[in-house]
Amino acid sequence: MNEVEHVLAVQNDLGEGPLWDAEAGVLYWVDINPGRFYRWDPAAAQYETFAVGVPVGALALRTKGGMVLATKDGLAFWDTETQALDFIAHPEADRPSRFNDGKVDRQGRFWAGTMTDARSPTGALYRLDPDRALHTMVTGVTVSNGIGWSPDNRTMYYTDSTPRIIYAYDFDPATGAISNQRPFVHTPGSPDVPDGLTVDSEGFIWSARWDGWRVVRYDPDGKVEREIPVPAQRPTSVMFGGPNLDELYITTARTGLSTTELEGQPKAGDLFRVRPGVRGLPESKFAG
């Protein structure tokens, strides 16, 4: 049940941000540094790549068609017909930073956060509303990462990787406000760090552990429920997909690994899948 399947040998430099499109039955994800994203159709066993032209940290589908992307040069809309970017906001144009992970909440707002090359705590988490208003939600962030919401939509989970913390917040679905920040999982002495995450239909949190060779499932109290070994040192993110949302896709990275390290893990940077016996929650589209 927890056996990992090797899906695609894509050797991503920094594969991240998997997103399941339930209507089309396809998986999207990004390879951040080369500035491209992928579209995998498991039914046809085929994938496509799309060159964005700038490092891209996350993507989400739009209700109006196309996508919203979080990139090194700010937030932008992607036109699937012309394959062109339309930049709409760049809140950190004065800093050497880039956007990293992002997700859409169930009210159609896009959340995405930033990181700097120095990984100093100058990043932030932003919320883009459907009317294109941009709000700064969290400051003092090092490497903004995985984000997700509980099944009852009252708790938001958010990862700051360098201090090895997954935070929990009280979440107001109507306004998008967050409050009562507290550590949900904090592993300061661990050699690995929390990266992307997703929340399943039972309210458990799945976290990819960068440099940990594994994905961890935490219960709603923050206790480890299970660990799933991954044949790559740097799992980056997770997303439920498949017709029944019972397949957990796992993206990984090769970046920063030495030649010797890569020889010992030839599947680093590839796409994996596991059927863990639980289902995920459907992802929302940006409403703007």
- Among all residues, which ones are annotated catalytic? 195
Half-sphere exposure of 285 (CA within 13 A, CB side): 13
CA 247 to chain centre: 16
Task: Please state, in angstroms and rounded to a whole number, the distance separating the CA atoms of residues 128 and 130.
Answer: 7
